[in-house]
């Protein structure tokens, strides 16, 4: 079957993903993914921080099936029960006062940019520039590419959407230098995920928050990857003890059903008035049923506590490996279950391949750092399987 799919993909699918890993999955259960040839993999990447509940979570699937049989979509011309309830959940469990739903992380960030711009527009203040950080990742749309501080994502799409610039992270002087009287917002990831799991310095984050407040600049935190319990808190900004004016979330919010959210303080959110923003699919009955089921599972199964506890155990065991292999493992970073394992550059690719061959799914960031973002209900046994595979890889494959 894999060969057939590959042939179809090569012939008909745009080649943005190049040679993918040679595997296709037919079904999953918990951490396990079953390949068409019978091989069983452990999903330590969780579909890139999406499958917070793992695969085929019984209650989640039941909630979705019930919704599929009742109602998929009605449009936002009418009131939507799940949409209203999911907005309530997000607001009651975060520092935000209002939420708006869309379909992806990039679209949530677009919504955040629009909200920041319209907030000043409605005040009659001429501020529209958005500053973000080097090595950030905010999505693949034109505006989010302009905000993504990685030249290789930007180069082919120049001229970029105007009004965006990037500065060096964790350098507070750079913030002061970059801000102008046109700066509307600063957007950050508190843990840069895509570029290799780089947590922001806590002092810098707090200084940034204070600086934005003092200077009438909105702080936007992109929680697309860090949100929904990934770091052991519902949102990473709780770990940092700061409250953004706007934050976005997506990936794990739907556990695989596409949904994103823009969340904001009341004062900012009220800038969106009827007609100012919209969406066809965003927050429809199906995707918001998924969001509600994710929230229920997080609460009923104590997944924040589990992510925190298992994250600590996972990092402790990885640090144990680092002491055993100090020349190979250069750093272990992250919070909760978003973990980066930085390797000696020469061996990173073989370690990634070794893990894959041992049926451990991860991603390799920048050819240097193994990223894991497993389901939040992971067990210590499963962590041990990973550690064992990692050790075998370091011993046998490099």
Ligand X SMILES: *Cc1c(COP(=O)(O)O)cnc(C)c1O
Among all residues, which ones are annotated catalytic?
137, 222, 251
Provide, rounded to whole angstroms, the least separation between the CB of residue 347 and ligand X. Answer: 26
Which of 104/393 has CB closer to ligand X? 104
Report the phi/psi class of residue 131: left, alpha or beta, with left for phi > 0 and alpha for psi in -120 to 50: beta
Q: Which tokens sit at 103?
A: 């379909």
> Whose CB is nearest to ligand X?
105
Q: Which residues bind ligand X (CB under 6 A)?
A: 104-106, 109, 137-139, 189, 193-194, 222, 224-225, 250-251
Which of 194/328 has CB closer to ligand X? 194
Which of 53/389 has CB closer to ligand X? 53
Sign, Cα dihedral of 254, 356, 151, 330: positive
Biggest CA-to-CA distance, the chain: 64
Provide, rounded to whole angstroms, the least separation between the CB of residue 240 and ligand X. Answer: 15
Which of 102/118 has CB closer to ligand X? 102
Compute the distance between CA of residue 257 and CA of residue 253 in angstroms, rounded to an integer: 8
Compute the distance between CA of residue 47 and CA of residue 38 in angstroms, rounded to an integer: 20
CA-wise closest residue to 48 among 337, 306, 263: 337
């Amino acid at each position: 079957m894999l060969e057939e799919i590959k042939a179809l993909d090569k012939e008909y699918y745009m080649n943005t993903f190049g040679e993918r890993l040679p595997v296709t999955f037919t079904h999953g259960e918990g951490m396990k993914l079953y390949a068409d040839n019978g091989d069983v993999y452990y999903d330590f990447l969780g579909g890139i921080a999406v499958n917070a509940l793992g695969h085929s979570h019984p209650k989640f699937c039941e909630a979705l099936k019930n919704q599929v049989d009742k109602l998929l979509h009605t449009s936002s011309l009418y009131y939507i029960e799940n949409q209203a309830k999911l907005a309530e959940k997000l607001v009651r469990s975060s520092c935000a006062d209002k939420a708006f739903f869309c379909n992806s992380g990039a679209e949530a960030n677009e919504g955040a940019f629009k909200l920041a711009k319209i907030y000043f527009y409605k005040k009659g203040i001429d501020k529209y520039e958005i500053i973000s950080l080097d090595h950030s990742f905010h999505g693949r749309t034109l505006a989010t590419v302009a905000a993504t501080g990685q030249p290789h994502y930007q180069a082919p799409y120049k001229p970029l959407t105007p009004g965006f610039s990037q500065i060096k992270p964790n350098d507070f002087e750079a913030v002061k230098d970059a801000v102008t009287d046109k700066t509307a917002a600063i957007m950050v990831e508190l843990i840069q995920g895509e570029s290799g799991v780089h947590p922001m310095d806590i002092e810098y984050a707090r200084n940034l928050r204070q600086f934005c407040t003092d200077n009438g600049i909105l702080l936007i935190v992109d929680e697309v990857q860090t949100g929904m319990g990934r770091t052991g808190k519902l949102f990473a900004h709780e770990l940092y003890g700061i409250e953004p004016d706007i934050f976005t979330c997506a990936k794990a919010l739907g556990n695989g059903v596409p949904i994103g959210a823009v969340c904001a303080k009341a004062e900012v959110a009220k800038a969106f008035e009827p007609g100012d923003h919209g969406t066809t699919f965003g927050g429809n009955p199906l995707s918001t049923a998924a969001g509600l089921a994710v929230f229920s599972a997080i609460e009923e199964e104590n997944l924040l506590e589990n992510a925190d506890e298992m994250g600590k155990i996972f990092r402790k065991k990885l640090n144990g490996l680092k002491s055993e292999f100090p020349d190979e493992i250069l750093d272990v970073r992250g919070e909760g279950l978003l973990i980066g394992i930085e390797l000696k550059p020469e061996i990173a690719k073989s370690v990634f391949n070794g893990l894959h061959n041992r049926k451990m799914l991860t991603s390799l960031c920048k050819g240097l750092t193994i990223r894991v973002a497993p389901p939040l209900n992971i067990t210590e046994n499963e962590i041990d399987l990973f550690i064992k595979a990692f050790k075998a890889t370091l011993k046998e494959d490099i």
